[in-house]
Amino acid sequence: YQRRVRGESSLKYQTRCIRAFPDCSGYALSSIEGRVAMEYFDPNEEVQAKKYAFKCHRQTVNGVDTVFPVNAIAFHPKFGTFATGGCDGMVNIWDGANKKRLCLFHKFPTSISSLSFNSTGSILAIASSYTFEEGEKDHPEDAIFIRHVTENEVKPKQKNA
């Protein structure tokens, strides 16, 4: 059975990645504008009111803001939190339910082109590969990193009452 859902993206620029939520209620969408959108399938107004987009993978250096494409999204299989990877060479872990960043990993040699958690969520595979966002130039070799993640890095924090 294939269900087609057609709709407009809440993001204005080129889509780089889409990943279904672990509970299949919607999806996360990333773009070249340094944003991630959280969208829901259920057309009910109450459900649609939960959708949002947020800015990420941005840096300010000497007062100049630089926006980096978000190339990769991977959901944690146990907690439903998610990782994003961008052309800034950074990996962030997010708690989408509480709209908070949980963790920022060290900078990788070049753009993050792909991310994937293993089935238990204890390992995050990270592909670092120049994606030619700055055109043809000398760049670090492609590399794969395997990171053992802790619950503290990927588990949602309790909301303050």
At 102-133, the pLDDT tens digits run 999 989 999 999 999 999 999 999 999 988 77
In angstroms, the CA 34 to CA 123 distance is: 25
Q: Which of 8, 92, 105, 18 minimizes the C-alpha distance to 55?
A: 92
Question: How open is the CA angle 103-107-108, to the nearest 5 degrees?
Answer: 120
Q: Is the dihedral of CA 50, 3, 27, 123 positive or negative?
A: positive
**What pLDDT was estimated at residue 157?**
87
- By the 10 Å C-beta count (0-12 exposed, 13-18 middle, 19+ buried), 22 is classed as middle
Q: Does the pLDDT of residue 161 top 90, yes or no?
A: no
In sequence order, the β-bridge partners of residue 53 are: 37
**What pLDDT was estimated at residue 4?**
58
**Other CB atoms within 10 A of residue 63 CB:** 5
**What pLDDT was estimated at residue 31?**
92
Phi, psi (rounded to 5 degrees) for 93: -110, 130
More confident residue, 6 or 120: 120
More confident residue, 69 or 10: 69
In 79-154, where does DSSP find H-type helix? 151-154
What pTM was computed for the model?
0.87
**What pLDDT was estimated at residue 6?**
60
Q: Does the pLDDT of residue 2 top 60, yes or no?
A: no
In angstroms, the CA 113 to CA 110 distance is: 9
- By the 10 Å C-beta count (0-12 exposed, 13-18 middle, 19+ buried), 132 is classed as exposed
Tell me the per-residue pLDDT of 43-88, one tens digit each, with 9 for 90 and over: 999 999 999 999 999 988 788 899 999 999 999 999 999 999 999 9
